């Protein structure tokens, strides 16, 4: 089941024709960011439309759009952004590819899919996972999996990952301690669901990690982000056109601001 779900996740990740406009509410110790995203051919266009659940001033809105217009006019900068996003995606997919081999799985019951977690009404299989002692990480990136345990929630019908929770039960070092360390107790959660027509979207990401980079620079990641209000866009969407869609949406939200639901509430993909 895990191998089938991972195979489907990889196919979906490589399907760049499916594009969405959506909103997010990201909470960190520094406050709340309200952001709009538009998926384009070249890269992901995004802009703040609120801070701490309050709309931006017209001047702050212009700053956000001016930055995107600058990216549109500077093709080199846009290509760099595209390359960074591709690298981030590839790192994520390497972790996903490793899931079937990096862990041992144990059946832990079932539950029903609900809004934002799997497909509503589908049976979700809960699997407890722990490190596979025979797994040999191919690089430092996958090394983190040797110190992780948690639960995987699979949609039995769609064969997709509805949620994955993980906790570090020990410190994990990278490059024999030279490059960095993640501290014991760190955790994460990623959940996704069917937004309609079989298209799955990420609905929530929670990350709490601490450690060090190069053994002297502190690392402290603490965020809870909910994604909502998904709307399908044309399959062929140039970045410049995505910026115009984003600008129009930003203006609408400024006129009729309704804060997205917090991470403690259920998400509602559309």
Q: Bridge partners of 9?
A: none
Measured on CA atoms in the order 80, 85, 88, 89, is the torsion positive or negative? negative
Q: Which of 4, 14, 74, 56 is nearest to 243 (CA)?
A: 74
3 state DSSP class of 81: helix
What is the full per-residue pLDDT of the chain (270 aa) written as tens digits? 999 999 999 999 999 999 999 999 999 999 999 999 999 999 999 999 999 999 888 999 999 999 999 999 999 999 999 999 999 999 999 999 999 999 999 999 999 999 999 999 999 999 999 999 999 999 888 988 999 999 999 999 999 999 999 999 999 886 655 567 889 999 999 999 999 889 999 999 999 999 888 767 888 889 999 999 999 999 999 999 999 999 999 888 877 666 555 545 444 333
Residue 21: CB atoms within 10 A of its CB come to 19
As a whole number of angstroms, the distance between CA 194 and CA 119 comes to 5
Spell out the long-range contacts of 215-221 with Cβ–Cβ below 8 A and sequence spacing 24 or more: 215/177, 215/178, 215/180, 215/181, 219/180, 219/182
């Amino acid at each position: 089941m895990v191998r089938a779900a991972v195979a489907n996740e990889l196919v979906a990740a490589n399907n760049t024709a499916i594009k969405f406009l959506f909103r997010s509410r990201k909470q960190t110790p520094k406050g709340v960011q309200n952001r709009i995203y538009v998926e384009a051919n070249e890269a992901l266009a995004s802009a703040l439309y609120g801070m701490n659940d309050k709309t931006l001033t017209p001047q702050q809105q212009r700053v956000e759009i001016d930055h995107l217009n600058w990216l549109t006019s500077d093709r080199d900068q846009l290509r760099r952004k595209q390359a960074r996003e591709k690298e981030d995606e590839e790192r994520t997919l390497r972790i996903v590819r490793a899931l079937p081999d990096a862990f041992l799985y144990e059946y832990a019951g079932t539950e029903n899919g609900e809004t934002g977690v799997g497909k509503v009404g589908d049976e979700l299989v809960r699997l407890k996972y722990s490190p596979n002692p025979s797994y040999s990480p191919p690089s430092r990136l996958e090394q983190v999996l040797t110190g992780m345990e948690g639960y995987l929630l699979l949609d039995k019908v769609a064969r997709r990952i509805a949620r994955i929770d993980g906790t570090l039960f020990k410190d994990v070092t990278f490059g024999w301690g030279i490059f960095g360390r993640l501290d014991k107790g760190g955790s994460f959660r990623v959940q996704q669901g069917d937004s309609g027509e079989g298209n799955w979207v990420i609905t929530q990401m929670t990350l709490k990690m601490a450690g060090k980079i190069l053994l002297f620079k502190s690392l402290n990641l603490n965020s809870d982000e909910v994604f909502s209000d998904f709307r399908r866009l044309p399959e062929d969407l140039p970045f410049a056109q995505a910026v115009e869609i984003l600008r129009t949406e930003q203006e609408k939200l400024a006129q009729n601001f309704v804060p997205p639901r917090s991470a403690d509430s259920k998400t509602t993909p559309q």
